[in-house]
Structure 1
């Protein structure tokens, strides 16, 4: 009997054309939806993020966010295993909610699904109704008062971390916002920004006499002060009363908001449900986009720009003049979250640095049109959305930019191609203080401008045979 031996797949040497767009992702330029949801839930007062899925999801996300923010962070999990995958994970969810309630005493548990539970078809909304049932739920079963349960569906294959972030914020607003007499408050949905950016947005708003409802606000919980005793739920976050008042605010502002189609924004929900006027503005990075943001605050408040802020703007203009000769004519590749790279590309155009490639792992489908809309005079900008670092590095090797501007996941490309990297956004794992980098407003732009120009100067200085120390 003769046995036919089939060749291994990699022994087939038949030539084939290489597609221009890879069908696989190699080192994604994005993170998962549940990660964004967990970060968003952390920005609401006394809320514990809870993932309905395997333990590994919660462990990975905790490690990833702790590495960036350098703060302890707890994420609960229903720890779905083999048996629950086959027979359903409701028992795990009930046990997990009961344990979190007993150990943490939270005001709210922010639930998010994962790939596993979405793939097996878990009906989490129905599970929540049964858990909260007055006679058959956990309160009747355990005698514990169950906190408010909020749920956002966030399977990783359905979107990015930015999508999960916005989905979680919308879920909280949909549960807690109520109608009322229109107030002078302004809802501010900032997207994923640094803790320093969050504090600065509050400072700018206060300068116009505006009481903003910042949703979410994780500036204290994810960048707190040293304490002698560990607090299981650190202080800080947008309060339930503030979220409730968002339904009667005079206006909402969403900074960025480029999300995968099908993901609803909280500002859009408030506009549809409570008729709260909603404005989409780009991230206020650079003079022009920050002017757009401050003009909107002035329109809402009727107040002029405060003196301290006008001085910051003036100092930034002066810095542009001082540093123009070092940056003019240089080139850069920008990568990261869609909302952030739109603002950074506009800023680079202001200071004379040409963005050769703007790349993101986002899937909104509007990245190119948004860059063109904001920068109509910026020609020949290559845009890569739903991209990965395999593609980014290949283009960087061909385009040979002077700079890379993005997060730490681009360091390997920077090292291999010997192109300096200016770190912005999330995640920053290889530097101290990434959570405190300021990007927004005139002050944030000033800090970013200094870092960009000084990086260019250092490269020239390091390459000089003389080793000059005076410019």
Structure 2
């Protein structure tokens, strides 16, 4: 019997994070950049807490520190003072300015304020890039993608036209882990191809121990490389649920750089698509090293099929990751019964259908704009064997007494979230082992006698 809909609208434990948080992480993947929030100090503190708990790395997010007074009279003076202070203390190459709900609501014209600042302040100034990121109109993924697009729009072709046919490709990976980005660099080098990966948080958010604290961590995509993205032989963009005005589309329309948009390469099928594209762009066959990894992965699927076939899973998180995870789970014999996201692209169900139509006998329920209260209500009837997503699902996993496979962001109740490999044959192998072993461990713990030999 269907339940009557509630006579109120509320969110309980959202299945998303705030828009400027995503923008801050995107800016953190640019060499010499400092993220800057035009809003209250509390917003920057909240975001730093979330990011640090996942990556276990320091991150400075500057703030214009608006108060109640500025909500009435405007935050222009604080914005300019803050930019001046950041420039003096950090000496950044770039300041990425994201707006919060407060400044968007009061209507601060940041573009005009930055023009005024440029005229009023003498001397050399860092590049300043503004992105509009009110949390009430999106999730951290909209903030992330909008920031990347703003950077490409401002910098690509900035130093004039480059020589075409240089053999450089652009990889726009979306919101993946530092480990994923390091693996992408390895894959590109194996073809070999030069790759500009934007953003690149592989060092800035997972760096080596330093003898002295550095105000701006080394690493990130060089600004000169971003400026030359307009001359690349092609772009590869992961994800289908982002908006039409993505950075890959911008490079294609403005500079004629061929853009190939594909799902995040999770599992064998999606990774095959990625490697075929690299082979086409390089004119070379897939290296034997990666063909061998694929073969070992197929062998692992066969070896462990008996432990996981028919298990039911709830998958949740940001939309493109949910698409990739669902395709991977269906491929290994796990049945996704609910695919949920806090995002509202309107494309999630279509993409789930596209990547699983040839594999799943029955399509899962797919819901956008979900929170964990709603997911929990549905889970009681769906009776899943696994939860697959980030740490915010742990209370539900505990309530249902089922394993949780931690992937994505944020992971703040385990170490190593920044080192989880999600993509490629190697990432699929690691995730596969985690899923299989979680199912085996659950069976052992539920057994009155257990077993130790399989």
TM-score in same-fold range (> 0.5): yes
Partner of 2:116: 130
In the TM superposition, residue 18 of structure 1 has moved relative to its aligned partner by 2.9
Give CA-to-partner distance per residue, 1:162-181, whole Å, 9 cap, x none.
11001111111111100333
Distance 1:22 1:337, change over 3 A: farther
How far is 1:271 from its partner?
Answer: 1.2
Structure 1 residues 291-306: aligned runs within 5 Å: 291-306=272-287
Mapped pair 1:51 → 2:34: no
Q: 1:360 to 1:98 in 2, by over 3 A?
A: same
Q: What SS does the aligned partner of 1:132 have?
A: helix
Cα displacement string for residues 315-358 of structure 1 (whole angstroms, at most 9, x for unaligned residues): 10110011101011111110011111101111111111100011
How much has 1:22 moved relative to structure 2? 6.6
Q: 1:461 aligned to 436, 444, 450, which one?
A: 444
Q: How far apart, CA to CA, are the structure 1 residues paired with 2:12 and 2:113? A: 36
165, 172, 189: which is aligned to 1:206?
189
Is the 8 Å Cα contact of residues 15 and 341 (structure 2) preserved in structure 1? yes
The alignment partner of 1:287 has SS state of helix
Structure 1 residue 209: Cα displacement: 1.1
Map residues 91-240 of structure 1 onto 2, 5 A cutoff: 91-133=77-119, 137-139=120-122, 144-178=123-157, 179-182=161-164, 183-240=166-223
Of 52, 58, 74, the match for 1:66: 52
- In 1: Cα distance, 2:281 partner to 2:144 partner: 27
User: In the alignment, what sits opposite 1:3?
Assistant: none
> How high is the TM-score relative to the length of structure 2?
0.96
In structure 1, stretches of 5+ residues that fail to align are 1-16
Distance 1:156 1:432 in 2: 28
**How many angstroms does 1:280 deviate by?**
0.9
SS of residue paired to 1:50: strand
Q: 1:458 to 1:363 in 2, by over 3 A?
A: same
Which range moved further: 367-376 or 177-186? 177-186
Is the 1:356–1:401 Cα contact (8 Å) retained in structure 2? yes
The higher radius of gyration belongs to 1
Q: Say whether 1:424 aligns with 2:393.
A: no
Post-superposition CA distance 1:81-116 (Å, at most 9, x none): 122111111100110000000000000000000100
Q: What is the TM-score with the length of structure 1 in the denominator?
A: 0.93
Q: Which residue of 1 aligns with 2:245?
A: 264
Deviations 1:100-151 (A, max 9, x none): 0000000000000010000011110111111112xxx222xxxx42111001
Matches within 5 A, 1:418-457: 418-457=401-440
Do 1:360 and 1:384's aligned partners in 2 also have CA atoms closer than 8 Å? Answer: yes
Contact 2:315 2:387 survives alignment (8 Å):
yes
Give how far 1:257 is off: 4.4
Distance in 1 between residues matched to 2:356 and 2:429, nearest whole Å: 20
Residue in 2 that maps onto 1:348: 329
Aligned partners of 2:176, 2:79: CA distance in 1, in Å?
Answer: 31
Distance of 1:21 and 1:33 partners within structure 2: 27
Distance 2:299 2:6 in 1: 44
Stretch moving more, 432-441 or 249-258: 249-258
Q: Which residue of 2 aligns with 1:287?
A: 268
Structure 2: gaps of 5 or more residues: none
* Distance in 2 separating the partners of 1:87 and 1:329: 60
Cα distance between partner residues in 2 of 1:358 and 1:204: 30
1:361 corresponds to which residue? 342
Any idea what SS the aligned residue of 2:228 has?
helix
**For residues 82-97 of structure 1, what are the structure 2 equivalents within 5 Å?**
82-97=68-83
Count of matched residue pairs:
446
Name the counterpart of 1:393: 376
Deviation at 1:264, TM superposition (A): 2.8
Tell me, what secondary structure is at the counterpart of 1:467? coil
Shift of 1:184: 1.8
CA distance in 1, matches of 2:397, 2:232: 45
Of the three residues 64, 69, 72, the one matched with 1:78 is 64
Contact 2:94 2:127 in 1 (8 A): yes
For the residues of structure 1 that align with 2:96 and 2:156, how far apart are their CA atoms? 16
Q: Which of 325, 347, 351 is residue 370 of structure 1 equivalent to? A: 351
Q: Shift in Å at residue 20 of structure 1?
A: 7.2
Is this contact kept in 2: 1:27–1:390, CA < 8 A? Answer: yes
What's the secondary structure of 1:236's corresponding residue?
A: coil
Identify the residue that residue 367 of structure 2 maps to in structure 1: 384
Q: Distance in 1 between matches of 2:415 and 2:258?
A: 39
What secondary structure does 2:336 align onto? Answer: strand
Alpha-carbon distance in 1 for matches of 2:427, 2:374: 30
